[in-house]
Amino acid sequence: MPRPESNFPISTSIRRVLGVSFILFLALLLFLPRQSQEWLSHVGGPFARILEAPLHVVASIQNSIRHAWDHYIALQNVWEENQQLKQEIQRLQGEQNFLREQAIISTQFQQLLAYQQTTPMTTLPARIIGRNVSNWYRAMIINKGNLDGIHPEMGVITDAGVVGRVVRVNPTTAVVLLLSDPNVAITGMIQKSRDEGLVQGTPQGTIHMKYLPPLSPVQPGDKVVTSGLTEDFPRGLQIGRIQQVTKADTDLFQLGEIDPIVDFSKLEAVLVITSFQPALPSSLPKPIVSPSP
Amino acid sequence: MTIFLDILLCFGVVLAQATLSTILSAKGIYPDLCLILACVMGFYSGEYKGLMIGLTVGLFQDLFSPGGIGLNMILKGLAGALAGVTTHTFSTVTSPAILLVTFALSLGCGLASLVVAYPVVDAPILFHALSSKLLPQGLYNSLLTLGMFWLVNWIGPSLSMVHLGRGPR
């Protein structure tokens, strides 16, 4: 096919010379001094200014998109992560609270256990699971019953002192009447003067020591302990301190008001006295293994 | 099925009485949830349902109470039945009627329990019990009963599976 003839015919050799010269010129530009390069940049300046505006626009759009991505779309992941972390915090707080509660209960049971091991009688640790089902009694429900060897009339204590007496027993639970109930009466003794009396609750919720000898030198602050005359409590368990002593002219005996050593409203675990005899060594570890079944 | 649900309800109320009473107490006054249940069922479903629920919840209460078995059963059963009987007396069960009847029933049950629970009931003890327990508790019980009654009245029709009874007259 014949080659079309150009309007400005240039020979092939001239084209080659021009091409080589252009390449040499470009190569020369690289080795020119800095001033010459600046002159070139001045020449290209207007072109750069023309390109500057669209470059700014493109760059700002790009920045806006990146900004939106970072702060809105990417925040979606942060929000999800935040929700997960909040749930994790809640779970850990619950776990921490549970462990703290377990630690407190464990401490209480350890105290009871230490007391149980030192005291010369057999006791069974129990946990309080309910209170005051009836409005007319001051009572609480424990988680040990007939199947655990609990019987009515057994004494209930803590490491601090006397709590009350078992009055009703179900197979796995028992009802304990507190010392502040009028239906509970145990024999007590002023520790210092050795005067005996009857410790009984009142309808108002206080505890009185009745039938104190009229010549007894009992004073407010004196300790009251069990005298051991009843079958449910051994001698020497602490009941409380005498708060006030009264005697009307017509009364034969003095009446002492007792501030109980045990705070009945804050009880969580107790010991039930199952026998006045010390426990056999083999039966001791049982409550250690399962203090709060 | 209905009997089973009734027993479950009674058991739940006794459980709540044993565990939530301290939360529900107002200045040392505990509401008698078992009495409230018996009365609400009596007012809502009539004397038979009130009697049965009262007997059941009273028996459960007796099992976890230091007093002799039977006292709460009889008292709560009577209270439920009497609450049901009053619905025959009034043409409609109004709020004042509920307040008045529950207050009277609470007072009666309280006095009977007091006589049985305390070894000696003399005038000072009776006065103390009236002023510090019986009257405030009666008021508390009647207010709670009224609230529970209207709640049951409101949601009762939608609880057809529970078979609360024939509903208010």
Distance to chain A for B134, nearest Cα, Å: 10
The CA distance from A186 to A155, in Å, is 10
The CA distance from A56 to B139, in Å, is 80
Helix/strand/coil for B98: helix
Q: Tokens 């990417």 — which residue?
A: A74
User: What tokens appear for B32 in the block?
Assistant: 């008698």
Residues B137/B32, Cβ–Cβ less than 8 Å:
yes
pLDDT at position A287 is 46
Touching check for B151 and chain A: CB below 8 Å?
A: no
Residues of A in contact with B119 (CB under 8 A): 182-183
Confidence band, pLDDT 50/70/90 cuts, at residue A285: very low
Residue B25 has pLDDT above 90, yes or no: no
Touching check for B128 and chain A: CB below 8 Å?
A: yes
Residue B168 has pLDDT above 60, yes or no: no
Does the distance separating the beta carbons of B67 and A136 come in below 8 Å?
yes
- Residues 148-167 (A) with a CB less than 8 A from some CB of B: 167
Q: What is the mean pLDDT of residues A150-167?
A: 91
- The complex's ipTM works out to 0.75
Does the distance separating the beta carbons of A133 and B18 come in below 8 Å?
yes
Closest residue in B to A200 (Cα–Cα): B119
Residue percentage of chain A with pLDDT more than 70 = 84
pLDDT at position B143 is 93
Touching check for A203 and chain B: CB below 8 Å?
A: yes
Residue A8 has pLDDT above 60, yes or no: no
